[in-house]
Amino acid sequence: MRTREVVIAVSVAAMVVLLAYAIEVGGLGPIAPQRIRDLAATYLINTYNPWNITLSSLSLEAVTAIVWDYRGIDTFFETSVLFVAIVGVTSLLRGFREKTGLSSAGLSEIVKTSTKVLAPLILVAGVAIALHGHLTPGGGFQGGSFIAVLFILLSVTFSLDYAISYGISSRKLLALRSGGLIGILVTSLALLIASLILGVNSYIFQNMAREGAPLSMPSWFLDRPTGGTLIWFNTFEALAVAAGISLAFLVLSLREEEVEEALGQVEWYE
């Protein structure tokens, strides 16, 4: 046992030294080069480019434009992976039942009251980050995580009992999560459906007009661009992520009394 640990330690240390040396001599390419790759420059120029609309997504934020427009299908499957993971977590404990009246102590009254004051501020900060995802750094995932923090905070300071009796249940969260995903799907197909009616060409995940596909999403709301589909994607993604992470936390923090029934039905394989 000892020799095994020593061998692992020595080989990991050797790997670190060799990797550091390889980086030092430029094995990963030049560190912090003066020129970025042409691909990156293309993204930077075309992200918000009203003079060349067929390559642009009319969003001021390049990362959101790449995530939801240029590589939209990629991100759609990424969201599906998150959904599948949550389904997996839930099905590990399938048959659980949320109960109230188990332990409703939570933390002290001071912490509870401070959390009450913080709760609306966390929620609205998440909303602000999600809505401005195409203008400033941030986006649907970040805003949704903000909102999920609120649920985690509530269930820790007030106890899970309080959160459940406030009206948060795994069924509602799953419904919200699915609603967010359906919203993403509808947004990605919106232009396709519109073009079927109007009889012109279009693509899945189309945002602005492309060559041979003249339709584009409404890209301007009052005095700021909306990035076409981006604002919808961000909103629905925030909803889906907030509900999904809350659901996963709810399932992971279930009390023993709530899962013993579910665990009793499981056959343990030796």
What one-letter code names the amino acid at 87?
A: V
- Residue from 57, 96, 98, 141 touching another protein (CB under 8 A): that is 141
Residues listed for the chain = 270
Whole-number Å distance between alpha carbons of 155 and 250? 8
What does residue 221 show for φ and ψ, rounded to 5 degrees? Answer: -125, 110
Q: Which of 184, 208, 217, 251 binds another protein (CB under 8 A)?
A: 251
User: Which residues inside 144-163 make contact with another protein, applying CB under 8 A?
Assistant: none
Task: Record the tokens describing residue 69, joined without a space.
Answer: 């427009």
Per CB under 8 A, contacts with another protein among 94-123 are 108-110, 112-114, 116-117, 119-121, 123
Radius of gyration of the chain (CA): 24
Q: Is 9 in the site for another protein (CB under 8 A)?
A: yes
Residues 222-241 that bind another protein (CB under 8 A): 222-226
Q: To the nearest whole angstrom, how small is the minimum distance from the Cβ of residue 198 to another protein?
A: 28
Task: Check binding of 172 to another protein (CB under 8 A).
Answer: no
What is the full DSSP assignment across 125-170? HHHHHHHTTTTSS--HHHHHHHHHHHHHHHHHHSHHHHHHHTT--H
Determine which residue in the list 191, 209, 245, 250 makes contact with another protein, applying CB under 8 A: 245
Report in angstroms how near the CB of residue 177 gets to another protein at its nearest: 13
Smaller CB separation from another protein, 144 or 202: 144
Question: Which run of H or E residues covers position 221?
Answer: strand 220-221
Is 268 a binding residue for another protein by CB under 8 A? The answer is: yes
103 sits in the region (left: phi over 0; alpha: psi -120 to 50; else beta) called: beta
Does residue 34 bind another protein (CB under 8 A)? yes
Say how far apart CA 124 and CA 114 lie, in whole Å. Answer: 16
Q: Is 175 in the site for another protein (CB under 8 A)?
A: no
73, 84, 175, 185: which one contacts another protein (CB under 8 A)? 84
Interface pick for another protein out of 2, 3, 5, 101 (rule CB under 8 A): 5
